[in-house]
Amino acid sequence: MNKLSLSAFLFVLASFGAFAQQGLPLRPEIQAAYTKGTRSSTGKPGPRYWQNTAGYDLKVNFDPQSRLVKGTEEITYVNNSPDTLKQIWFKLYPNLYKKGVERKTKFNESDLGEGVQISALKIGNQVIEKKAMVEEGTNMYTAIAALAPGKSIKVNVSYSYVLNKGSHMRTGQVDEGSYFVAYFFPRIAVYDDIEGWNRYPYTGEEEFYNDFCSFKAEVTVPKDFVVWATGDLSNSASVLQPEIAGRLKKAEQSDSVIDVITKENLDARNVTKDKALNTWKFEAKNVTDFVFATSDHYLWKSSSLVVDPKTSRRTRVDAAFNPSHKDYYEVIDFARKTVHAMSYDFPKWPFPYSHETVFDGLDQMEYPMMVNDNPLENRENSITLTVHEIFHTLFPFYMGVNETKYGWMDEGWATIGEWLISPSIEPTMVDEYGVAQTGATSGSKDDSPVMTLTPDLKGSGSFTNSYPKPGLGYLFVKDYLGDELFTKALHHYIAQWNGKHPMPYDFFYSMNEGSGKNLDWFWNRWFFSEGVTDMAIKDVELTNMGYLIKIENKSAKPLPVDLNLEYEDGSQEKVHRTIGVWEKGDTIAEIDIPTSKVLKKVVLGSAHVPDRDGSDNTFHVKVK
């Protein structure tokens, strides 16, 4: 751990005991935000909340033969902060592949290059010389003329780099003729009310934190290459053959699946306009990033559905894929059902964007309005992957969380979304992604509080702290509050913070206010504490009314209690208690079972309750 994050982490642990019954242990930077009024202990944005924004006008040429990405951009950056800015920090994410850059991911030396080449940079009226551009890995900063609060400045950049062919990490060549081009343009880093400029480097492991901006993009590629991207395609008639453009327009209003590009179209090479180069124009507003993908041999299936019955607003869903990948013929169905389930079942919030494209790539990664998913042979894995990545639309893109520091604020939601939605697509499956590993590694050297900063996680904790542990926390609160109240609380959080940058405490306190319940007792124990997740059946006693089952919780972590009761007559009964049985800090929960039957065996546990040691989860009742 670095010194800054270590001290903050130790502060949390030291504060835990003192604050456990009074509230959540606050990190100093959060307390400072409350004092400044940018955030509030109610969970709402404070009266002085602000965030910066920008408008990006991107023009990029991509040559599939050389993989050269060459572009210009004009950025209108708006300083909504109360501070006068004398520097601007940029993110140069493709520098992950630059020789000599520090990274946590191992790449082949042959895949490393010279990184992003800035050939021209102008900020306001000032031309920035190369020597004034200070690069630190994937970060770059430079001094500027003072930018006062409430003022904007123009930034013009010319740049180029060679897209990676190997060592694929969320971007790069997929095959001969297919490419997923992400993080390709220099962008201005987030400057926020918590720590100013976001100076965390991109190392290949931790993910991203970007401002909500507007994008106009022109992507130029050779004939036969189709482009899919963030945002709405505004010139389909100029880049697609009339028949193809007509099918796309039909798909935008059709509940049926439309084959926009067929095998016959590919064979006849009559998909795009017959020009040496085609420029595809896209526009997106209030999103955190812009990406594009292109291929000269992919099929395109598309459909749409009403996501908001109040306005009849529709979302188009696409699958763009290699004809040889058989699982992708169903992906369009999985994707459409995911968007429907998110809008109507969980979290019952209308899908916020006009389209969602699932692109057949080499990764398992989300982007605004796009996902880059590798093909899979197992159908259930294909379902869960599709659901997980599309669910990210809400977290981190609609809710602009800082993934770099708090990966659990988006991965945990994608995990619970996967658990709940996947079985609605395939009713025979039980998705228990990461639950067993959470139990098995709890209390180990890599186990740490969920609130540990993502860059400081080690080993197995990088996975469990980001995915299943927070997902289970959300699931347990949902069970405790009940579906209706949980949905009300979650909607309160989403309504307050969509299009903004919520931090963990904003989430905790929003859920408290939205539900009308003080859940700090649970947030403290699940997100701020460490230790095993383990329960045991302590005893089963015969009573005048039936039986008394005693369950021991071997840690401070609240866990639901699920019992399967087997009686002498062969009948079975399931008993469930929420985390509420541990609300007062008890270590033993007594569960009354009123019955006249003879109880034979009790088994503790369920698919979504992690348990370190299952040897004490079965109790054979002695007949007296």
585: tokens are 């800090």
Per residue in 582-606, is it b (16+ CB within 10 Å) or e — as a string? beeeeeebebebeeeeebbebbbbb
* Strand bridging mode 139-147 / 134-136: antiparallel
Rounded to whole angstroms, how far apart are CA atoms 424 and 187? 39
Residue-wise pLDDT tens digits, 473-492: 999 999 999 999 999 999 99
SS3 117: strand
DSSP string, 444-470: STT---TTS-GGG--TTHHHHTTTHHH
Is the peptide bond preceding residue 347 cis, with omega within 30 degrees of 0? Answer: yes
DSSP string, 68-113: EEEEEEEEEEE--SSSPEEEEEEE-GGGGGBTT---SS---GGG-B
Largest CA distance in the chain: 91
pLDDT score for 20:
36
Assess contact for 584 and 21: CB atoms under 8 A.
Answer: no
Q: Which amino acid is at 348?
A: K
Separation of first and last alpha carbons in the chain: 57
Residue-wise pLDDT tens digits, 138-158: 999 999 999 999 999 999 999
pLDDT score for 23:
86
> Helix %, strand %, coil % for the chain, to 5?
30, 30, 40
Dihedral sign computed on CA atoms, order 334, 340, 346, 350: positive
| Length of the chain counted residue by residue | 624
Low-confidence ranges of the chain (pLDDT < 50): 1-21
pLDDT score for 623:
73
Number of H helices, E strands in the chain: 14, 31
* Strand bridging mode 85-91 / 187-188: antiparallel
Nearest to 266 by CA among 361, 358, 179, 178: 178
Nearest to 76 by CA among 60, 91, 56, 58: 56
CA dihedral (350, 44, 212, 504) in degrees, to 10, reads -90
- Gyration radius of the chain's alpha carbons: 26
What φ, ψ does residue 399 adopt, rounded to 5°? -105, 105
Assess contact for 476 and 578: CB atoms under 8 A.
Answer: yes
